[in-house]
Each structure stands twice: as structure tokens, then as C-alpha cells.
Amino acid sequence: MFTKITSLTSPRYEDFDWKAVLLILFLAALFIRFPFFFRDYIDRDESTFIIMGQSWVDGHLPYTQLWDLKPPVTFLFFAMVIKLFGKSFIAIRLFGTLVVALTSLFTYGIASKITSKKIAFWCAMFCVFFLSLFGSLQGVMSEHICTLFFVAGVFLLFLKTRRVWFFLTGLLFGLSLMSKLNMAYPVLILGLYLLWAGYRDRQLWSTLQNLFFMGLGTILIVLLTALPYYLEGNVPIWWQSIFEAPLAYSEGKFHSPLKTLPFLIVILGLLTAGFATKILNRHSRELQILTAIVVGILLSFMQAGKVNGHYLIQLYPFILIPFSMAVGKLPRPKKRYRPLLILLLALIPMESYLEYANVVSNKMEKGSFFNGEGIDVPNYIATHNLETKNIFFTEYHIGYWVLGESPPTKAATHPSNVIREEIFPYMENPRKTGMEELRYIMEVIQPKTLVARDGKKIFDKKLVEYNTYIDSYLEEHYTLIETVGRGLIYQRLE
């Protein structure tokens, strides 16, 4: 793997082959992400994906038994892991680590076509960091999955020019799109750029043919996701859930394009400054492609009306490359500063160090590496033989998976969807409003056991009506029987 590496402190990056780079990136990702293998959940969305994947393994197509606002390839990823390895947090998080390593490897491949292998390597290494740290990124998010497919597609675009490769690029873009729909924006902007570049370079006919094959690959994947629904005679739920519901969601009351403007201005301002100062070569076709992709992703953020931390996963590989190239043109730090730089580099995974300590502490106190209320609360419920039929997790809903139960209604698959009435029509929900859905769960289904979180309102604090209703209902019809960590376990009064 390694040839002619002069020393551990001064490697010859030119001598790293792709297998060596992948090994280094995987080990770095594994070190950073490993302590989180034992956490109950890191982001609520990840818990929802796991539940949706389990439902598919149990024989129910996405959106038919349970429902969530993501295309089916995201759920397919989790379903495949669960099918092969059973209910295993470790397997899911390990495959998430592999996704991060492969995404960083393709980022290295793209960067090495534009700049030196040294800069490309460190770009890939920081890709590992940014895809694994800072917030909820230690979990396996839909953005991780869609970004892997997209980066692989861009790598093929940089590597090959024959039409068959454009078709394969289209397949990868289709998989990305069917993992998270907002990737349609960078696909569209990239296509428009390639069309303009073909016209500029007097290769319009050839470009049109390439784009046709790329588009064919993308559309083929989209149609393939519809095939299982066609065979079951339920194409409308596929169309409504994948294409109509996200548009309705983005128009929700908590979303506003204006909220994203400061972030967009900063990113585009940095890129513009890089090209204007000639730190970045504005004539580089590769950098133009990356810029088109960045613009497309930023437009998708604007359309969504918010920029969550895990959304940035989609942006990192494409913005890290020009940023690394710009940093690479700075003067090399003096030798006396290098120990400080090494120390700063070692401190980046501070979240991981803290989680390692948490895992060890939990093992010593509770006898298990696995930790978190999403595991401890279901364990308490199981060992005390509490009623789990129609159990309602308003928090820690990974508990459904741990207990082998399902949410009480489609809308309750992700707890926050109970009040997102703008998407009810697209999940074929018979209730029309969020309050009607909540009343149906509490007054008709009447879950015997309900789980909430100490110190946190069940719904967003802005939703006074919902919180007032459920707080008074719990006070009248439920009793708090146990507090496990921050998990509150309520039992319905007879």
C-alpha cells in the first residue's frame, strides 16, 4: 500500500495509493465515531430512519404503514443493514462510518484532479472531521447517504468522458436524489452549467448527448423506486410522499428563505473573493463545476427555509476543496509553530474524547456500554412488564425499535410530525389538523404507556395550544411512575 514513505512525520503523499488513503480515512472516521456506536440516538431523524427501515424489513413499503419525509433510498440503506445484521446499533453506525470514509475518499479523488495530492489528502481528512463532528453528525443521516452518491457521481464526471460514464453518473445522481430530494437543485444547476459550457466550447451537440444519458440514468433510478408501489397498485402514495409533501413542508410556518440569506452570503462571498483575488483559478472547469454544485445546494437551503447543522453535510465536500486549495497557497508555518498545529489538530475530536469517557463511565455504573434514555427507558419498561401496545414515545422514539413496537399512528412515526398538518394530506392521514391527530392518539387510542422528557415541553414551546392540551390531559389521565435519567414514564390511570 505504502511505497517510498520517508517517515511518519513527513510522508510522501504522491506515494499513497487509493487503498492506503481509504484505510487512513476509515481508521480516522472509526476513531472519531466509534464511541457513538453505543449511543441510543444522536439525532431524532436517525431514529426515524431506523424505524422506517425496520418496517420495510417487516414487509411494509415506506409510507404505507409508517411515514416520514424522505425518499425511499434512505430507508433502504437502513433496511439492508437491519436485514443483514438484525437490530444492531453497532452495525448501523459502522456502515455510517464506511459511508463517511468513502465520501472522503471520493472527495480526495476529485481534489487530486485539481490540486496536489497533499492538499487533496488533508481536504479528505477534514471531510472526515466535518462529516463526523459538531452537533448530531455522529449519527447516520440522510445527508450522509445522499452525499456519498453525489460525490461519487461528480468523481466519475471528473474522471471519464464517455457516454456510458455519464449514464453511471446519472444513476448515482438518481440514488442521491432518492435519498434526499433537495439534491435535485445541484443536479439541475450542474446540468445547466454543463449545457452552457458545451455551448461556450462549441461542443453543444456532444454535451446534449452526454446530458441525455446522465438524465436517463437519473430518471431510471427514480422510476425504479416507483416500481414496488406500481406492483402493489399504490403509486399515488409514492408520488405524494416523495414529491408533493416536501414542497408543502418547506412552506410550513417555521421556514423562511430570509433566515438562510446570511449563511448564503458568507459562502458565496468567500468563493467570489477567492476567484476575484485569483487565489482560485476562475477558468478551471473543475472549480466551475464545484461552484455550480455549491450554488445548487445553497438554493436548496433557501427553498427549505432553514439551514440545520446536518444539512451542511451536503455542502462540506464541495466547499472544502476550494477552501483547502486557498489555504494551500498560504506560506508554510514556521517549524516552531508546528507542535501547536499538531495539538490543535488533536483537539478537533474533543466530542469523541468526551464520549469515550461517557461510554466507560456508563459501563462502570450500569454494566453496559450502550447508553442513553432511548435504551434505558425501554429496558425499564420491559423488565417491569409495562404495557407496550400503542405505547407513545413523545421523546426517545428509538424506543419503538428497541421494544419491537410501532408508533400509534403514521403521523407519530417522527414525534414532530404529529403537529405538521400541512403534510397530512400526502400521508393519507384521515385527520385534518394536528390537534385532531393528538386528540385521536390520546383519547381514542389511549396509550397505556407514554414517554416524555424531563425539562422539555412535549411540543415546540411556540405551540402553546398543543402543550396546554397534553399537559392537562397527562395530569388528569396519567400518573408518572418512574424517571429514568431524563426520561419520564407515564402510566394511564384506570
| DSSP structural state of residue 489 | E
In angstroms, the Cα distances linking 457 to 248, 394, 461, 463, 488 are 25, 10, 6, 10, 12
Cβ neighbours around 277 below 10 Å, total: 9
For strands 478-484 and 449-453, give the pairing: unpaired
Regarding whether 487 and 399 lie in a shared domain, the answer is yes
State whether 63 and 126 are in the same domain. Answer: yes
Asked whether residue 381 falls in the same domain as residue 248, the answer is: no
> Does residue 336 form part of some domain?
no
Contact (Cβ atoms closer than 8 angstroms) between residue 360 and residue 27: no
Q: Domain for residue 338, yes or no?
A: no
Question: Pick from 292, 311, 328: which residue ends a domain?
Answer: 328
Residue 398 is predicted with a pLDDT of 96
Residues whose CB is less than 8 angstroms from the CB of residue 10 and which lie 6 or more positions away in sequence, other chains included? none
Q: Are 292 and 383 part of one and the same domain?
A: no
pTM of the model: 0.92
What is the reported pLDDT for 7?
Answer: 43
Say whether both 234 and 110 belong to one domain.
yes
Of 153, 105, 141, which is closest to residue 33 (Cα–Cα)? 141
Per-residue pLDDT 10s for the chain (494 aa) are 444 434 444 567 776 788 999 999 999 999 999 999 999 988 899 999 999 999 999 999 999 999 999 999 999 999 999 999 999 999 999 999 999 999 999 999 999 999 999 999 999 999 999 999 887 889 999 999 999 999 999 999 998 778 899 999 999 999 999 999 999 999 999 999 999 999 998 999 999 999 999 999 999 999 999 999 999 999 999 999 999 998 888 776 556 777 788 888 999 999 999 999 989 999 999 999 999 999 999 999 988 778 888 899 999 999 999 999 998 887 777 777 778 888 888 888 999 999 999 999 999 998 899 999 999 999 999 999 999 988 999 999 999 999 999 999 999 999 999 999 899 999 988 999 999 999 999 999 999 999 999 989 999 888 999 999 999 999 999 999 999 999 999 999 97
Range of the domain at 427: 372-492
Q: Are residues 126 and 263 in the same domain?
A: yes
- CA 462, CA 23: separation in Å to the nearest integer? 47
Q: Which of 273, 302, 328 is the last residue of a domain?
A: 328
**Same domain as 422, residue 307:** no
The whole-number pLDDT of residue 257 equals 74
312 and 252 share a domain?
A: yes
Which three cell numbers mark 159?
474522471
Return the pLDDT at 252.
61
332: Cα separation from own chain's centroid: 35
Query: Contact at 8 Å (CB) between 359 and 371?
Result: yes
pLDDT of residue 253: 55
Q: 304 in helix, strand or coil?
A: helix
Claim to verify: residue 264 and residue 395 sit in the same structural domain: no
> Does residue 177 lie within any of the structural domains?
yes
Domain count for the chain: 2
Residue 100 included in any domain: yes
Distance of CA 302 to the CA centre of its chain: 18
Cα 274 to Cα 270, 279, 322, 324, 327: the distances in Å are 6, 5, 8, 11, 11
Distance of alpha carbon 487 from alpha carbon 393, whole angstroms: 10
Residues 163 and 297 in one domain: yes
Same-domain status, 410 and 316: no
Q: Which of 93, 118, 123 is nearest to 106 (CA)?
A: 123
Model pLDDT, residue 5: 38
